[in-house]
Chains A and B, each alone.
Chain A
Amino acid sequence: MFSVNTVIHQPGTFAKEQLDDSFDYKWPDEGLQAIPDWIYTSPEIYQREVKRIFHGPTWNFVALEAEIPDPGDFKRSYVGPTPVVVARDTDGSVHVFENRCAHRGAEFCRSQRGNAKEFVCPYHQWSYDLKGNLQGVPFKRGVKGEGGGMPKDFRNEDHGLMKLNVTRLHGVVFASFSREVEPIEQYLGPEILKDFEVVFKGRKLKLLGYYRNELPGNWKLYHENLKDPYHATLLHSFLVTFGLMVAGSKNGMIADASGRHGTLASAKPENVAAAVGEVKGEMRSYREDFKLADGRFLEYVREFDSPWSVTMQTIWPNLIVQRELNTLGIRHIVPNGPHSQIMLWTMFGYESDDEEMTRHRLRQGNLMGPSGFLGLEDNEAIKFVQEGLRRSPSDRGIVKLGGNTLGSTNAVIDEAAIRGMYAHYRQTMGL
């Protein structure tokens, strides 16, 4: 039972959800100032996204190296909706292959994480090494006197697991179904690489744990949400009341040249009351009377060489890197049909953290995740959007804030980064 399920109008009830390739997918005449509902509801569009984006020339997040530090360590993961295994070989190299036996297709790796010398499919016990090569086929030559067995020309080398292209950057592992995708630094671009390195470069991570949730909204809505500084200062009372992000203070929306990636950045003002005082009349969620009984939770330890106290990075197509004050983590988006996505959160600190710093990160973790003061509001809002798109006969949303500009902007009341993302999307999707 997924949370997308409603008793009234279950998914699939409306024409919008049943569009196939005979439908005329014509983008609205307003261009990038409008987004047609069918990109969030059509099964045909979803299949095209899987093929052209997730299985296309993109780098997809699959693991943090800190999750698989030792030879033989492995993790179940996903590229788009496709289950894969990430494994570290005895020589330290990291390999990603489909979680699908080359024989009959069984998803052989069932544990979230573990350590193994080899992978053995439980069905007919075909075995694979940590690189995904086929090692052993039981009764390969049949049984003496009875015959059977594989044909003489069967070669193990031809029947390994489907292997993906793998790259690693500062302890983060990405995979691609494409061999043509550009090197990862080039893929991210200098604007995005900069804040990515603030979190990862030269730092050994300490895993703090996982959250997993199903979010009943199209996967693109999550990218949009983090390319939308407008919502941050209105929806999230915590950001507003405690001055973590306030319209008028120092904020930035940074996009790469292609428009697909983004960094939503903000600098906590030194004087919160003054920053809020200027704009509070516009913000219904501002609460003057809300004072924390335990203020430790929102303290900011300046541990980074960065002008920003917050950077939320959207790395196309499936990764969010969260640096919200001192709470750090990644979110791995697994698309789950047009109406749903699975969100896999890995929270971490650094190996150099002392016990008090770890506890500080854990306390501040209350901001994020499926019970976080910011995280739960995003999940609720995205669900509301999907329900509205799915069930109403109106056919488009508008993204006009800031006019026709695309990509980076210093203005909070601006949707340029969403338009920039859709400029890239339309090109990739042929829309």
Chain B
Amino acid sequence: MYPGYDMTPPDPRETRELRLEIEEFHADYCWTLDCGDVERWPDYFADDAVYRITARENADAGLPVGLVYADSKAMIRDRAFAIKHTQMYAPRSMQHFVSNVRVLEAKGAAIKAQSNYLLLQTLVEGPTTIHQAGRYYDSFVRAGGRLLLKERQCVYDTVLIANDLVLPV
């Protein structure tokens, strides 16, 4: 449970269409990242978006730190550029799996949803490993007919990160 996402959800039969739309959003978002097209990743966010990846122990204790912490789309863009062009790290490929999508709120423009994610990583010479298991807590806005993230909190269960987390979740 995450603060601001602990409401009683509407009857899922009434939000099926929206859930489908959110699932399509996840599929696109993950496809972009899994293709390594990280410079298109900021396109999924609103200008004033908040993006944070944090351990469950921080989320549960109300501690604000982020493994990645951005409170503007510009910061998300800077990270995307750095990953693509300046950071030094070994080659790797990632696959995201998102499931258990639940619509938590669907009042007009305010849309909130929660999902589980699984992130697989494959390094040169390495086995494919579960790099992270976590949950997305998402707030969406609509812009030009499509959904954009106003907030994405990625809260991971995986206590010890295997060395580092280079690419976005």
Chain A interface residues toward B at CB < 8 A: 1-3, 5-8, 112-113, 207-216, 235, 237-238, 241, 285, 287, 290, 292-294, 297, 342, 347, 358-359, 362-363, 365-366, 369-371, 373, 375-377, 379-381, 383-384
Contact = CB atoms under 8 A, between A and B. Distances in A.
A377 B75 contact: no
B53 interface: yes
B63 A210 contact: yes
Contacts of A297: 75, 78
Contacts of A285: 86, 88
B74 to A, nearest CB: 4
Given A287-B85, A376-B89, A381-B88, A210 B65 contact: yes
Interface in B125-169: 125-127, 129-130, 159-166
A363 B71 CA distance: 8
B86 A237 contact: yes
B37 interface: no
Contacts of A215: 163
A238 B82 contact: yes
A239 to B, nearest CB: 11
Given A238-B82, A365-B65, 15 more contacts: A2-B162, A7-B127, A113-B61, A209-B55, A209-B58, A210-B65, A211-B65, A211-B161, A212-B55, A294-B77, A294-B78, A342-B160, A362-B69, A377-B87, A379-B163
B67 interface: yes
Given A293-B75, A294-B78, A365-B65, A210 B164 contact: no
Chain A to chain B: the 6 pairs with minimum beta-carbon distance, closest first: A209-B65, A209-B63, A3-B162, A294-B74, A293-B74, A237-B86
B127 A292 contact: no
Contacts of B69: 362-363, 365-366
B64 A358 contact: yes
28 contacts: A3-B162, A6-B125, A8-B125, A113-B61, A209-B54, A209-B58, A209-B61, A209-B64, A210-B55, A211-B65, A212-B160, A213-B162, A214-B161, A241-B86, A292-B78, A293-B78, A294-B74, A297-B78, A362-B69, A366-B68, A366-B69, A370-B67, A370-B163, A371-B67, A371-B164, A376-B89, A377-B89, A380-B90
Highest count of chain B CB atoms <10 Å: which of A209, A211, A381: A209
Contacts of B102: none
Interface of B: 53-55, 57-58, 61, 63-72, 74-75, 77-79, 81-82, 85-90, 125-127, 129-130, 159-166
A216 B163 contact: yes
A213 B89 contact: no
Nearest to B53: A371
B65 A347 contact: yes
A208 B22 CA distance: 32
A110 B127 CA distance: 30
Q: Quick one: which of A292, A376, A383 has the most chain B CB within 10 A?
A: A376
Residue of B72, B78, B79, B90 with most partner-chain A CB within 10 A: B78
Contacts of B53: 371
Contacts, number: 140
A208 B64 contact: yes
A212 B85 contact: no
Nearest to A382: B163
Given A208-B64, A294-B72, A371 B162 contact: no
A373 B58 CA distance: 21
A51 to B, nearest CB: 25
A380 B65 contact: no
A293 B165 contact: no
A68 B87 CA distance: 37
Contact of B87 (A7, A237, A384): A237
A310 B64 CA distance: 23
The residue among B66, B67, B126, B130 with the most chain A CB atoms within 10 A of its own CB is B67
A184 B127 CA distance: 45
B125 A7 contact: yes
Nearest to A384: B90
Nearest to A344: B160
A373 B64 contact: no
A57 to B, nearest CB: 30
A28 B160 CA distance: 36
